[in-house]
Structure 1
Amino acid sequence: MNRLLTYYQKELSFLKQHGKIFASRYPKIARRLGIVEGETEDPHISRLIESFALLTSRIHQRLDDDMPELVNDLLAVLAPQLIKPLPSICIVMVEPDPIHSGLTGKNTLATDTALFFRHSTPVPYQFQTVYPVTLLPIYLKDALLHYNGDALNWSLKLSFQVWSGATINNDTIRIYLNGPDNAVNIIYTFLCSEIESLILNQEGKSSLLSPTDIKPVGFSKKESLLIKEPKISPVHNLLIDYFWFPQKFHFIDIQLPSNFCVKNNGLFEIKITFHNNQLTENLGKITEIINSDFFRLHCTPAINLFSIRAEPFILEDTKAEYPVIPDTRHQSQLEVWSVQKVSVQRKVNNSVQQFDIMPLLERHTDNSADENPGLYWQSFRRENLMPKGLEKKQYIAFSEQPNREVSSAPEVVTVNALCTNQYLPSKTQYFGNPDGDFDTDAPVASLKITALTHPTPPVEPASKNSVRWRFLSQFSLSHQLLDGDEGVKKLKEILTLYNFNNRSSNSHLVSLIQTLDYRPITARLISNDPHSLARGIDVIITFKHDAIKEPEYYMLCCLLDHLLALYAPVNSFTRLTTCIAHEDQTRRVWPIRAARISWL
């Protein structure tokens, strides 16, 4: 009943406030109702208003117990990417010291390695790595983009040297393309699609590698920037990453051969010769900026997300909701991004026991009565008007089971949350420290960690009205097939929906998609296995002729290749063909990609 009293007071206050507004707008009608400036002297009307407040408070409480904040909760389960802010993010480079790190072979920094901002702040900015970083004891000595006038082709030479006393074997070298977007997209296109030959020179010996030994990075599910939010589907993760932070795709992996081994100051060189076509004229425009600084080793995206245990609180019958406070001392520097786990501690038989509380709108296991606290939680983000401006806070509310046993002792709730530092990392001017920008507790000594790009400002979710429209668009498009005359329009709508930064370059690139056709095909998923025969879909996308001038054209095709594969039906596959209108030499048949759903 104490909770009902809280709802009753809220509803009664609402009726009085809006009664006052109604009386000021329509004074004649208000006087007939016995209302003057929101108050009434007639006890019968007063009792009627109070009775109505009691009735609506019961309805409000019932809705909160069963389906609180309906639209937001639906979005939180079905499309959380539409209601969550996108945190600050940057590219960091990890440089082990050749002398003091003790690195003689490869070592790996795992995904989610914590990075702590070195400059003194009230609350240290904390990031986490998105990709695993394989530390190799090598230098990139030189990089040269060269035009061979005799052979009439362009080539790229990457020269490496192994550290003194170290060894490198058949490892994968991951390289980040660090430069202006246009130059990066040009080199990326040639490295991933225009290789004529790939040669490894090692101590006077040459080995011919396959062009497929160079692979793009960032398109797999485990490489998503928001992998910590499992409710976001791989389709939407891919779209978010591309339009939010495309630099995460500016990585390539070079696989060294199985018999490769270089030791102790040894040298080796990778020479990449490119096809000679109409795209090669772009290479001449970027020759001067291609050097060893353009190709960076040991890099990864890092995102401003970190786990924290919020301040505990005691459950009270008089409260309908509770703010999730990461740290009472630094509330303005920390913001809760999502609630990960909720538990309650209570005294049972002279001992303190802890029980996990399950989310309200997720599938629940049938826990035994001894393990089930009789509670479910739901969290929501709310904006509050404060003297210093608009404050956004995460709140948590609880729903009780009808047969829940109420403990006479206090019940203490603890919340594990993912937090961000809001806009603070993007506003600081202290990045670029010669001694490194971040520290880490990784088990490798003498690491210098530098931010190659300045942390981006967080991207706030759309307004409530925009969210509703995006919600409707999301699900109307997700349940339609990209076929027929409307196929291009639907595909463009899907891509435009995620261009939340409204970047004109993205909008222009999407507008260059001209036609989309498809046809059923039968092919082998494994070329040399006749038992892998399956039926799939051949998708042909044609771009307008102006696309040939766009350096980002190939990157968009990569996105579409992986995106359409995620839409493939069960036990099927997709094969994408892309081309530019009136340019037959741009026709490219992409590899067969099996559906994400497991084969039956």
Structure 2
Amino acid sequence: MSDDFIYAYQRELDALRSLGDAFAQAHPKIAGRLRLSRDLVDDPHVERLLEGVAFLTGRVQQRLDDDFPELTNALLDILYPHYLAPLPSGCIVQLHGMPDARTAVAVPTGAPLHTSAPDGSPCRFRTTAPLNIWPLRAHDARLQATPFDAPAHAATRRTQSVLSVKLSLADRDASFSDIAPDRLTFFIHGPSAQAIALYELLCAHTIGVSLAAGPNDDRPTPLPLDALQPRGFAPDEALYPWPRRSFSGLRLLTEYFALPEKFLFFDLAGIDARSLVDTRSEMTLFVYLDTVSPNLTRTLHPDALRLNCVPVVNLFDTACEPVRLTHWQTRYPVEPPAHASRTAAIWQIQSVREIQSDGASLPWQPLYRHLPTDDAQSAGEYVLSRQTTLATDATETWLTPIRFGTAADATPATEPHAAVDERLLSIDATMSDGDMPARLPFGGGAPVFVPEHGLGGVTRIHCLTPPTQSWRRRQRERSAWALITHLTLNHLSLTGGDEGAQALRDLLTLYDVRGSEQTRAAIAGLVSVESRPTVARLSDGLKIGLCRGIEVVLTFDATAWAEHGLFLLASVLDRFLALHVASNNFVRTTVRLVGHPDEVMRFPPRAGYRRVL
């Protein structure tokens, strides 16, 4: 039960007692036997009556305070369908294959896996990005300041520290040339501050990359600087299935606040330059850095870099309880199947079909996505709505039929009631287990995930981060302001004048599902957003031209951020701003700190998801 309703109920109960006391004193002949006072009601029957009235009037008062959210929620669901949907639990897992494998195990996006809750009910997850599981292990990660022990490299003179990590085959009798991996995906595992600090070093301070047999190898294999590529930003790596109607930049903000570890991945590309000819079972990756982190050189864990990891999310597809239409109901609850867990929640409706008496089925179309060309095949139209339950704050989904029958059929107003009662709707949905994953035990090998179909070749799954709770936005809280903030969001509001910082802070606040003191302070630390036009050279290797763009300068208050914590948010905002860019333009994001004369971060120019220069 929400605190807002408890306050409304108590306020109404206090008002009834106070007004009743005043009324009884003013009119003792007709109301003296109420025996009311501000603090005590002598008659228990009167007390029950007042509590019941306070409960009902509290609900009415709350609806008035909410400014009738059904209208704004409906508009939000049409324009920004992602916003009102609850965010299911997510975590990072490491998948292990057969140690004697000679090829990678390809894991597609959406591959299912499950674990068991304490009560024995299954908790189902699925992968959110494609992954190749190589029979490799990353270990012995070290960060060395000068003097460091590493092979010679063209960037050695500018190098301040070197990150090294050993890559070993699970089968010591095999060689890299037998397997020949071409790309590896690493996850930075460890305490949040340490992981983000290492992520910043790799993404912002790398000046050289090489593969070698060891620090004394006189013939290392240098790799290009773009061999290290951050992951987690591309559309095919989305944590949640994203509606096409929703701006993809908002997906990045949603995922950053829901599961920030999702962005702590990077790819190492082009390693087949050495793996194709290397006859050893072990090699070492060396990353040359132009700065040093004294804290990381002392505290970096040897297993800070993990291979074969992928984010997973608590989503699964299933059929809901069928809905039988009646002539006395205007809307119907969409309920999980009877065998689902008690905390199961609807995340997204995939399809609604009407089952006819002869076994045939006809599709129903959402009212606001209905096309005239679908009239011949559509058996009806419907509208979906969400609301928060009063008792548990869970999110309920309701279906409201708008039209029955195909174009050749009669409308509901002319149909007999019996015909309506014979209609049965079959609903397929994507669901989650609600808050159950957050209650799973973590640590000591728990929770134990089991692979399902589509994960052949996977022998073991290790959970690296605790499953998050299911984040829910309050359906009745400031939905009108959420709609207004989305509608006013555009390129000029984010980068134009003094209002840019406030517009961006408002947007970040909308997507801050955690609402913790730390995240609120971090958002408040955004001091200003400035922009100015710029021009840069563009080359495809053969021709050189000029491209117009915008340079966006984000200024933060250093006191609102822990060391290195700013870089991950700045990386997300860099991609977010780049997705606003117009055709034949680019955005270059720069980050400054109050009181520091020089810029602290400078990201490459981007247009959408691509680096353009």
Q: TM-score scaled to structure 2, two decimals?
A: 0.77
Structure 2 counterpart SS, 1:125: strand
Query: Which residue matches 1:553?
Result: 566
Q: 2:225 aligns with which of 208, 211, 222?
A: 211
1:53-92 pair list within 5 angstroms: 69-92=70-93
Query: Which residue matches 1:573?
Result: 586
Q: CA deviation at 1:285?
A: 1.5
Q: Any stretches of 5+ residues in structure 1 without a counterpart?
A: 1-20, 28-67
Cα separation, 2, equivalents of 1:289 and 1:272: 18
TM-superposition CA deviations, 1:157-204 (whole Å, max 9, x none): 111122344633352211111111111111111111112321211485
Residue 460, structure 1, aligned to residue 472, structure 2: yes
CA distance 1:322–1:165, shift in 2 (3 Å): same
Amino acid at match of 1:352: G
Residue 416, structure 1, aligned to residue 428, structure 2: yes
Instruction: Determine what percentage of the aligned residue pairs are the same residue.
Output: 23
Q: 2:253 aligns with which of 236, 239, 245?
A: 239
CA distance 1:521–1:297, shift in 2 (3 Å): same
Query: Which residue matches 2:356?
Result: 346
Residue 161, structure 1, aligned to residue 161, structure 2: no
Query: Which residue matches 1:366?
Result: 373
Residue 475, structure 1, aligned to residue 487, structure 2: yes
Structure 2 counterpart SS, 1:505: helix
CA distance 1:239–1:188, shift in 2 (3 Å): same
Q: CA deviation at 1:474?
A: 2.4
Cα separation, 2, equivalents of 1:125 and 1:595: 36
Query: Which residue matches 1:124?
Result: 122
Query: Which residue matches 2:336?
Result: 326
Matched residue count:
522
Structure 1 counterpart SS, 2:369: coil
Query: Which residue matches 1:272?
Result: 287
Structure 2 counterpart SS, 1:372: coil
Q: CA deviation at 1:109?
A: 0.6
Amino acid at match of 1:72: N
Give the conservation status (yes or no) of the 8 Å contact 1:168–1:262: no
Amino acid at match of 1:234: S
1:416-435 pair list within 5 angstroms: 416-429=428-441, 432-433=444-445
Cα separation, 2, equivalents of 1:134 and 1:304: 21
Amino acid at match of 1:411: R
Amino acid at match of 1:565: A
Residue 518, structure 1, aligned to residue 531, structure 2: yes
Give the conservation status (yes or no) of the 8 Å contact 2:174–2:281: no
Query: Which residue matches 2:266?
Result: 252
CA distance 1:327–1:544, shift in 2 (3 Å): closer
Amino acid at match of 1:454: P
Q: CA deviation at 1:231?
A: 3.7
Q: TM-score scaled to structure 1, two decimals?
A: 0.79
Q: CA deviation at 1:80?
A: 2.8
Residue 506, structure 1, aligned to residue 504, structure 2: no
1:433-452 pair list within 5 angstroms: 433=445, 436-452=448-464
Give the conservation status (yes or no) of the 8 Å contact 1:119–1:437: no
Amino acid at match of 1:113: A
Q: Any stretches of 5+ residues in structure 2 without a counterpart?
A: 1-15, 24-68, 149-156
Amino acid at match of 2:469: P
Give the conservation status (yes or no) of the 8 Å contact 2:162–2:289: yes
Residue 107, structure 1, aligned to residue 118, structure 2: no
TM-superposition CA deviations, 1:419-456 (whole Å, max 9, x none): 11111111122664379433322342352112111111
Residue 189, structure 1, aligned to residue 200, structure 2: yes
Query: Which residue matches 2:294?
Result: 284
Q: 2:385 aligns with which of 380, 387, 412?
A: 380
CA distance 1:490–1:214, shift in 2 (3 Å): same
CA distance 1:492–1:263, shift in 2 (3 Å): same
Cα separation, 1, equivalents of 2:307 and 2:207: 24
Deviates more, 1:197-206 or 1:131-140: 197-206
Give the conservation status (yes or no) of the 8 Å contact 1:170–1:255: no
Give the conservation status (yes or no) of the 8 Å contact 1:482–1:490: no
Give the conservation status (yes or no) of the 8 Å contact 1:435–1:448: no
Q: CA deviation at 1:117?
A: 0.6
Give the conservation status (yes or no) of the 8 Å contact 1:488–1:514: yes
CA distance 1:521–1:465, shift in 2 (3 Å): same
Give the conservation status (yes or no) of the 8 Å contact 1:177–1:250: yes
CA distance 1:545–1:501, shift in 2 (3 Å): closer
CA distance 1:520–1:527, shift in 2 (3 Å): farther
Cα separation, 1, equivalents of 2:477 and 2:447: 47
Cα separation, 1, equivalents of 2:446 and 2:324: 47
Amino acid at match of 1:222: D
Give the conservation status (yes or no) of the 8 Å contact 2:113–2:449: no
Give the conservation status (yes or no) of the 8 Å contact 1:515–1:542: yes
Structure 1 counterpart SS, 2:589: strand
Cα separation, 1, equivalents of 2:526 and 2:446: 45
Instruction: Tell me the C-alpha RMSD between the 2 structures.
Output: 3.2
CA distance 1:300–1:365, shift in 2 (3 Å): farther
Q: CA deviation at 1:90?
A: 1.0
